[in-house]
Amino acid sequence: MNSPGSDDQHFYNSRIFNTYLKLIRERYPYINSAELLSHAGMELYQVEDEGHWFTQEQADLFYERLLTLTGNPNIAREAGRFAASPDSIGVMRQYILSHVDPATAYQIIGRASPNFTRSSLVEASRIGRNSVEITATPVEGAEEKPYQCENRLGYLDAVSLVFKYRLPVIEHPECLFKGGKVCRYIVSWQESRSAFWRQVRNYAALMLAALSAVLLPTLNPVELGFYGLAGVLLVLLIDIYSSRHHFREMNAALSNLRESNENLLDQINFNYNNARFISELGQALGKQMEVDGILSGVIESLSKRLDFDRGMILLVNEDRTRLEYKTGYGYSRDQERRFQESSFRLDRHDSKGVFVVCVRQQKPFLINDLDEILGELSPRSVEFAKKIGSRSFICCPIVYEGESLGLLAVDNLTTKRPLLQRDISLLMGVTQEIGISMHNAMLIEAKISQFKSLLQTLAASIDARDPLTAGHSTRVTEYALGICREMGMSRDYCEMVRVASLLHDYGKIGIRDSILKKNGVLTAEERFEIETHAEKTREILKQVNFDGFYKEVPEIAGSHHEKVDGTGYPLGLKGDEIPLGARIIAVADVFEALTSRRHYRGPMPVQEALDIIDSQRGKHFDSSVVDAFFRYLEGLKSGDGKPQP
């Protein structure tokens, strides 16, 4: 945390720049905030730290870059107005301001200013019943800039909007940048009519009392009674007139208060719902490792938590020539079919479709009336919009590190609530998360693809040693996965068994060809060497960094020759001591070996092989695994009874 001393050149509190960032997210979501901060030598964590202060140079760099990015010469004043808006100060603070008079509100603001900047000393004082003076005097060592004056004016503008029935007038009679020694602002407001007439009533009563004292000796009782009654009636009429105005003003104040309450409640509900949405979305994205799962999770959260009637996600295809519909909600089957059949072409430079422009320019669009942009759309786009019934919509680009991945679009049909800029701000945050999650998922998918390709290559390298047994590992894997599905195994467990099946014979890489390819019966010594391949498989695979649910691969692959009665090898494991995956591979391995040609014999008929496996229940094989295998084969039999992998 930065804690500058009296001689420190850090003048600007991080809350100022945090307000600017909120404004950017709200109204300029296409601007890269990270790039803006980097240009000014700022870090996001510093801006979010309310105790951090920045230098004049950093403030100047920040403003100059923001001016270039927005192209808005009034951005400083706009930021000042935004700083006093509910989106920035919060509805609660605005709610409090709405309960005080203008003089108190501006004095509060004046006292708060030193907490935001040390470049100037800001003072606020009441100079009349209905006016205050606010002065900003530069401190020694600090250099005020014109944009800071504009920012203050915008802030004062925005505060005035709180007082809806007594709008202040803001004057700027002295300015540092027009020859003045300070920036001085006079904020005044018209006194309420009820207060004016109350004063008239009071003066009338005083005058009546004075006249009565003067005229009392000169008037007879009748005249005195007449004039006294007339005076009292006049004062009473003025009081009634004043009360009527006071009643109207009270109604206006109550209406303002009621609106503040309603706005506060709406904002609380909006923030709560958005917080729930962001939380659920984060949980959904955190659980997904595939792009399709990510997109489905986003759409589910959108439909459940946000009040948009419809939503969809389009992604750029592999050759980056068009946008393709991936998923959505709220659309009929016919409308989804239209999206799937539509061609949002990215390779046509003359395309003026909003979706295409959104992706190309990486810029969000909010359209509350389609008629407003009909002249900018092609006839085909207009016809398409009419067919899906769209009148207003928002589309936000999905971008990761400068590359457009697609877009998220929402619209309303039955809901009367207009689409707002804050909706864009929320959805742009969502699309950023989508972009990051999609990128991570694609990296994971690429690594998984590489991993699977590597495993397939390793398995093929064993089969390649002997063309006669080529494909053995692949077929064993198919049978093993069939058994897993019949036994209701989880997706992760099936994947682990798949890898172990592919590599179950990898230890044969250490067995001599003269033994592996021998046509005759093996000797005892040769048989012993063949049996060492299971232990070799385990030891080799232990050198691979299998992680997560893959951790069991070496043990399962190295135990596929164990038997449930304990007579197997290499460890002589018995019953449940043998990993379930190994018991599954054992059945698949023996069946594939029996029904395939070998150097020393031809393939065995399927039924004969099944009879052998059935006879080895409880001895060689686990009975439940055998039952699952038989069920699997029932669904794969062809006319000749040969299982179809």
pLDDT score for 1: 42
Number of domains in the chain: 4
* 451 Cβ contact list (under 8 Å, min separation 6): none
What is the CA angle 358-360-363, rounded to 5? 40
pLDDT at 476: 93
pLDDT at 644: 44
Q: Is 1 contained in some domain?
A: no
In a shared domain, residues 199 and 264:
yes
Domain contains 458: no
Distance separating alpha carbons of residues 480 and 491, to the nearest angstrom: 13
Query: 472 pairs with which residues across the strands?
Result: none
| Residue 399, domain member (yes or no) | yes
300-322 tens-digit pLDDT:
888 888 888 899 999 999 889 99
Q: Which of 20, 357, 11 is nearest to 155 (CA)?
A: 20
Is the domain of 474 the same as that of 332?
no
Residue pair 559/571 in contact by the 8 Å Cβ criterion:
yes
- CATH number of the domain that 117 lies in? 3.90.1520.10
Q: Which domain holds residue 336?
A: 288-440
Residues 297 and 361 in one domain: yes
Structure tokens that stand for 392 in this block: 């207003």
Picking from 165, 188, 211, the residue at the C-terminal end of a domain is: 188
Residues in the chain with pLDDT values less than 50: 1-7, 90-92, 96, 114-115, 165, 639-645
Model pLDDT for residues 496-547, shown as the tens digit of each residue: 999 999 999 888 888 887 887 777 778 888 888 888 989 999 999 999 888 8
Do 254 and 380 lie in one domain? The reply is: no
**Residues 304 and 420 occupy one common structural domain:** yes
DSSP symbols for 241-267: HHHHHHHHHHHHHHHHHHHHHHHHHHH
To the nearest 5 percent, what fractions of the chain are helix, strand and coil? 60, 10, 30
- Residue 469 CA, chain-centre distance (Å), reads 52
